[in-house]
Structure 1
Amino acid sequence: MTPADLDLRQYAVQGLVQQAGFLALDYFNKSESLGVTMKGAQDWLTVADGAVEDFLRQRLAVMFPQDAIIGEEGGGEASDAVWIIDPIDGTSNFARGDRNWCISIGFLLNGVPEIGILSAPALGEIYVGRKGRGATLNGEAIKVSGQTDIKRAYVELGWSTRIPAERYVAMIGRGYAAGASVKRGGSGALGLAHVANGRTEAYAELHINAWDVAAGVVIAAEAGAYVSDFFSGDGIAKGNPILCCTPGLRRELEQVTQIGSQQAND
């Protein structure tokens, strides 16, 4: 695949994700239309999740029929060229009227994240990352905070029902003991984006799925963040831990999260 092929995908899908954002925002602003159900404990689903994913799948299939598609709701199989979609990341926020949610779409070529696009329409923000070309928020270049003192760091620790609560609580405890200010925002994709633009110093989660991070890992890495090797092993199909942080805090945060050379799911 040539750079021109990647250019075409990037710019076409930027427009596509913006359109999907309008669709999602229309549902968000009409709470009676959400049709909220539960896939499991604290695992929310709305009509908007399916509608947005269907919209993106249909358009991508027409524009790039040779590319594979994996979505949170519709599944799919990986190939050498694959789009990975989360139609609404932060669905529990979305369903409750909290604006901290986004549409996430990433493109992997031969297993390497190449393009990441996040639209947070309720916040008026669009993030774009392209491997080797930097990252932007609403068209302006972004970068990590550069903080090196964990006692001045704002760290987001994502929670997953797939991990015993005791391990998550222990990680939070280590974060506070190290002197960090700890938060949880409810959207892993935006958690990575907020490291990229310097709003936080780190995002970590002991297990997260590919559709939550496929866009954010490109955006964060291109903004100068350290990002653990999420797509190692069977990360696309089964997920992995993730640690994303401003580089000067990597070693301390590997100790706090126990993600890094010693993977948290070993």
Structure 2
Amino acid sequence: MGKNRNRVKHMLNRRVFAESLAQDAGAMARDYFVNRTALTVESKRPGDYVSEADRNVELMVRRRIEESYPGENVVGEEEGGTESGSFWCVDPIDGTSNFLAGIPIWGVSIAYCEGGVPMVGAIAIPMQDILISADMMQPGFHLNGVHHSKTADTPIDFLALGESQDWTRDAIRQVEDVFLGAGLTLVKYRCCVVGLVYAALGRTRGYFEQNTNIWDVSAGYVIAKQAGLEVSIKRNTSDHQLRISALHPAEHDAVKRQLHL
């Protein structure tokens, strides 16, 4: 009993820390967004960009983690890292293309993982005034400082699909056909963390993406799962990229066989 209580407190402390850090990182990223025309931008590959905003926000997050949890490993989109044991997982700006284009659909994602399993997640979507967090020891999630026991249901049958350069057109079309056959209307945001948060908040019926990365999905996994969605992460054996599925129960039951969930 005492061990479990300590475990709950341990995760609570990390959730509060991650939430505060996501808020500060979001504010920093928001300042860059307002002045984005002055940013230095590089192309990792066609259609995949990185700016000094991405790098500087991640460096700030890493510094704050080291100050509060010295020696703990960090895995980030821009600076890399090793997924072993316990580690923090950081996407400084998910939706960089949207960010650079002036589209306010992007977010900051911070997660804490143990044994490869996300345990704490916090996401800031600054241009929409969303700060959301959850941990696996407490049901529900915290939205802008208010605890919610579960997500609300939406009467609108939207399903968000992610986009990845490594997800082939034919494979995407097969998944689209499954969801369309279930009577869903498909939308795309070009931002995994926004897609997962919208699903957790009940604004859509779910989110699905193939060939994504651990920093894209870890925080959203915790939040969506604790909001009551059916959530799974599957790692590809060939290239170690991930598939994330976060669906409301009815949609999960409707497509689980076709998508092998």
User: TM-score scaled by structure 1?
Assistant: 0.88
Percent of matched pairs sharing the same residue: 31
Counterpart of 1:25 in structure 2 is 30
Q: How many residues align?
A: 254
Q: Is the CA contact (8 Å cut-off) linking 1:130 and 1:218 kept in structure 2?
A: yes
Q: Is the CA contact (8 Å cut-off) linking 1:94 and 1:101 kept in structure 2?
A: yes
Amino acid at match of 1:9: R
Pick one of 5, 13, 16 that aligns with 2:10.
5
Q: C-alpha offsets along residues 119-155 of structure 1, whole Å, 9 cap, x if unaligned?
A: 11111110101113121221233433457x9xx5210
Following superposition, the deviation at residue 40 of structure 1 comes to 1.3
Matched ranges for 1:49-128 at <5 A: 49-128=54-133
Following superposition, the deviation at residue 59 of structure 1 comes to 1.2
Alpha carbons of 1:145 and 1:207: their partners in 2 closer, same or farther (altered >3 Å)?
farther
Mapped pair 1:220 → 2:227: no
Instruction: Give the root-mean-square deviation of aligned CA atoms.
Output: 2.2
Return 217-226 or 14-23, whichever deviates more: 14-23
Q: C-alpha offsets along residues 141-197 of structure 1, whole Å, 9 cap, x if unaligned?
A: 3433457x9xx5210111111121111123223322332110001111111111111
SS across alignment from 1:216? helix
Amino acid at match of 2:151: V
SS across alignment from 2:127? coil
Counterpart of 1:137 in structure 2 is 143
Q: Which runs of 5+ in 1 are unaligned?
A: 261-266
Counterpart of 2:53 in structure 1 is 48
Q: Is the CA contact (8 Å cut-off) linking 2:178 and 2:255 kept in structure 1?
A: no
Q: C-alpha offsets along residues 71-115 of structure 1, whole Å, 9 cap, x if unaligned?
A: 001000123211000000011110111111000011012332211
Counterpart of 1:263 in structure 2 is none
User: TM-score scaled by structure 2?
Assistant: 0.90
SS across alignment from 1:122? helix
Following superposition, the deviation at residue 202 of structure 1 comes to 1.0
Q: Which runs of 5+ in 2 are unaligned?
A: 1-5
Pick one of 191, 198, 222 that aligns with 2:202.
198
**4+ aligned runs moved over 6 Å, structure 1:** none
SS across alignment from 1:212? helix
Mapped pair 1:245 → 2:247: yes
Following superposition, the deviation at residue 16 of structure 1 comes to 1.8
Q: Is the CA contact (8 Å cut-off) linking 1:28 and 1:34 kept in structure 2?
A: no
Following superposition, the deviation at residue 234 of structure 1 comes to 6.8
Separation in structure 2 between the aligned mates of residue 88 and residue 129 of structure 1, nearest angstrom:
19
SS across alignment from 1:238? coil
Separation in structure 1 between the aligned mates of residue 122 and residue 228 of structure 2, nearest angstrom:
17
